[in-house]
Amino acid sequence: MRTVVASNLEGRGIRLHPGTNLTELSKTADGIKVVTDKGDELTADVVLFATGRAPNSNRLNLKAVGVEVDQIGAIKVDEYSRTSVPSIWAVGDVTNRVNLTPVALMEATCFAKTVFGGQTVKPDYKDVPCAVFCIPPLSVVGLSKQEALPKKGNDLLVYTSSFNPMKNSISIRVEKSTMKLVVDAETDKVLGAAMCGPDAAEIMQVRICVITMVPRWLALQVGIHPSAAEEFVTMRTLTRRVSHRFSMNMRG
């Protein structure tokens, strides 16, 4: 899927330099001069540092009440979001588990049910969907092929479909949409799904329901035509079978 994203970005005129670090920045009359660790010199209008995020916990003075944090300041919690102080709970990015807004909402809901609702509920991170809002966007849910092999211990069936969305035919833009299903060969259950293409995040939100389904159930669904989403219910051609035994041999 990364190759698909890269190809689509390059098709829009974006130059990619994977595996590259910056070693020097300097202002010039033409903009900002950038020197890479590969010796390349580039000129840019703006340089953006995507350095990630860190929990904003320093100002809370947590040590004063005995709440433990890790080396980056994330609050340590148990599987129910309780901190080292039994009466204090923490949810969301400050715990550095899965840093997504809907996940924080799920954690908060579980906390409320556990503490105020008389139910013992812990967050389930098994099939959390996510998206990268590049152009076109990428979205995934469930396990990738690399994740599924060691976890499931069975061979995998990989189904893929790549096509030019119908709406692109009007603008004559050639920009492929790609969909993938990862299936357990023994149980025939869908373990993961991925899509790169227009509205990928919108489609994947609904596709969460296919996780643990079997492909033949998908084939019984009636698609909406013309739409990109119907590809998920008409995907019947096996692209490849991945052997778990071969994976074990590769890992030694």
**CA 151 to CA 184: how far, in whole Å?**
11
- Using DSSP's 3-state secondary structure scheme, residue 43 falls into strand
Residue 26: pLDDT over 50: yes
The percent of residues in the chain predicted with pLDDT above 90, rounded, is 61
The 8-class DSSP code of residue 223 comes to P
User: How large is the average pLDDT for residues 36-55?
Assistant: 91
Contact present, 164 and 176 (Cβ < 8 Å): yes
Cis peptide before 198 (omega within 30 of 0): no
**CA 244 to CA 116: how far, in whole Å?**
45
Number of C-beta neighbours around residue 142 at 10 A: 23
Distances (CA, A) of 9 to 14, 16, 123: 6, 8, 35
Domain locations in the chain as residue ranges: 2-44, 58-116, 130-250
Number of C-beta neighbours around residue 130 at 10 A: 14
From the candidate CATH numbers 3.50.50.60, 3.30.499.10, 3.20.20.70, 3.30.70.2750, the one assigned to the domain spanning 58-116:
3.50.50.60
Residue 111: pLDDT over 70: yes
**pLDDT for residue 213:** 66
**pLDDT for residue 251:** 41
**CA 99 to CA 20: how far, in whole Å?**
26
Confidence of residue 245 (pLDDT cuts 50, 70, 90): low
For the ranges 11-15, 216-220, 221-225, which has the lowest average pLDDT? 216-220
The percent of residues in the chain predicted with pLDDT above 70, rounded, is 92
Same fold, 58-116 and 130-250: no
**pLDDT for residue 216:** 66
Topology of the domain comprising 130-250: Enolase-like; domain 1 (3.30.390)
Of the candidates 239, 54, 19, 81, the one whose C-alpha atom is nearest the C-alpha of residue 145 is: 239
Beta strand 177-184 with 238-242 is unpaired
Residue bearing the bigger pLDDT, 249 or 156: 156
Give residue 98's identity as a one-letter amino acid code.
Answer: V
164-214 pLDDT, tens digit each:
887 777 777 778 899 999 999 998 888 999 999 989 999 888 877 767 666
Residues assigned a catalytic role: 225
220-232 pLDDT, tens digit each:
677 777 788 888 7
